[in-house]
Amino acid sequence: MALKRGRSAAANALRWLPAVLVLLAAGTAPTGCGSPAHPRAAAVVASTGVWGSVARAITGRRVAVNALLAGGDTDPHSYQASPSDAAAITDASLVVYNGGGYDPWVDQVLAGHPGVKSINAYAFLKNAGTAEQANEHVFYNLDVAKSVAFAIADRMAVVDPVHAADYRANAAEFCRGADAIVISEHAIASAYPGTGVITTEPVAYYLLAASGLVNRTPQAFTAANENETDPAPADMAFVLDLIDHRQVSAVLINPQTSTAAINGVRDAARRAGLPVTEVSETLPDGTDYLSWQRNTVNQLLTALQSGRSVQP
């Protein structure tokens, strides 16, 4: 099933704001005898399976981790928090979320409960908020993931000081795994500097930057795909021409999004003999964060090895 994307951040806000206001009102309702409004089912709540996986790598089996969006069929951008989601967030010892407009429903719940401890992954992005670094898909930025891992360890050391050393050791181990993937990205950058690729969405922005690759897709084309509109014929023709003449070395497609334009790009790549690499936006079933990132980088390297472009 394709992810359903909102047409703009403002449009998304209008969709989920009324529901969130109701949730916030419900969350502040008094409960008798000074008891908490909801049982503390999970010590750590993550907005998505991606950040839930990072949290589990740090907490191990000592702490329950609840990922509110664990599947691949729901787009976090336009998701509307349910009452149970709001309860989980407000009752958590720690909330880990993406930020940057990726999962805005978490921000809205947290705004009504400023005492809830949270980690906003986007906030760790260097130069966050600048035009150059505005891409919210920071789970493909391994430096950000490492910062989140250490922040989780620091928070859990406060919540559970007896096992503080374990949490910090787990964070260090996680970061060693992330560093190994970064080395692979840098190896791609050394072997294929400035190599052009087509990517139908901005999901892989940080992956491409770390790997030294150049996205030759017109920005208007990717914007149209994100907003569920048809790209301009001239933009579509430009992309297909690059593929047909093998002036790019690979095509990166989010397998969770399907439109006529994206399917046309995929078909053109297959006809031209260009490799298609799938770059997903959510954690695949049965894997963890580091395995997912490692596999994606390896698949990209394999694609580049087999899809050398013909320079004009």
Helix then strand then coil, % of the chain, to nearest 5: 55, 10, 40
Angle, helices 104-111 vs 9-27, to 10°: value is: 40
Average pLDDT over residues 254-278: 93
Distances (CA, A) of 39 to 35, 47, 102, 207: 9, 19, 28, 39
- Percentage above 90 pLDDT, the chain: 73
> How confident is the model over 213-237, as pLDDT tens digits?
999 999 999 989 888 899 999 999 9
Q: How many CA atoms lie within 13 A of 57 on its CB side?
A: 25
Residue 249 has pLDDT above 70, yes or no: yes
Residue 308 has pLDDT above 90, yes or no: no
Name the 3-class secondary structure at 117: coil
Provide the β-strand partners of residue 63.
none
Name the 3-class secondary structure at 284: coil
**253 and 266 in contact (C-beta within 8 Å)?**
yes
CATH code given to domain 9-180: 3.40.50.1980
pLDDT at residue 28, rounded to an integer: 38
Average pLDDT over residues 263-281: 95
> How confident is the model over 35-94, as pLDDT tens digits?
344 444 359 999 999 999 999 999 999 999 999 998 766 788 888 999 999 999 999 999
> How confident is the model over 116-141, as pLDDT tens digits?
999 999 999 986 555 555 799 999 99
The enclosing H or E element of 267 equals: helix 260-272
pLDDT at residue 18, rounded to an integer: 41
192-305 has the same fold as 9-180: yes
pLDDT at residue 213, rounded to an integer: 98
Sketch the domain layout of the chain as residue ranges.
9-180, 192-305
Q: How many CA atoms lie within 13 A of 153 on its CB side?
A: 20
Average pLDDT over residues 231-249: 97
**89 and 116 in contact (C-beta within 8 Å)?**
yes
Q: In 146-174, which positions are buried (b, 16+ CB within 10 angstroms) versus exposed (e)?
A: bbbbbbbbebbbebbeebeebbbebbeeb
pLDDT at residue 25, rounded to an integer: 39
User: SS3 letters for 17-80?
Assistant: HHHHHHHHHHHCCCCHHHCCCCCCCCCEEEEEHHHHHHHHHHHCCCCCEEEEECCCCCCCCCCC
Q: Which of 216, 235, 238 is nearest to 224 (CA)?
A: 235
Q: Give the global pTM.
A: 0.84
pLDDT at residue 265, rounded to an integer: 97
State which fold the 192-305 domain adopts: Rossmann fold (3.40.50)
> How confident is the model over 149-202, as pLDDT tens digits?
999 999 999 999 999 999 999 999 999 999 999 999 999 999 999 999 999 999
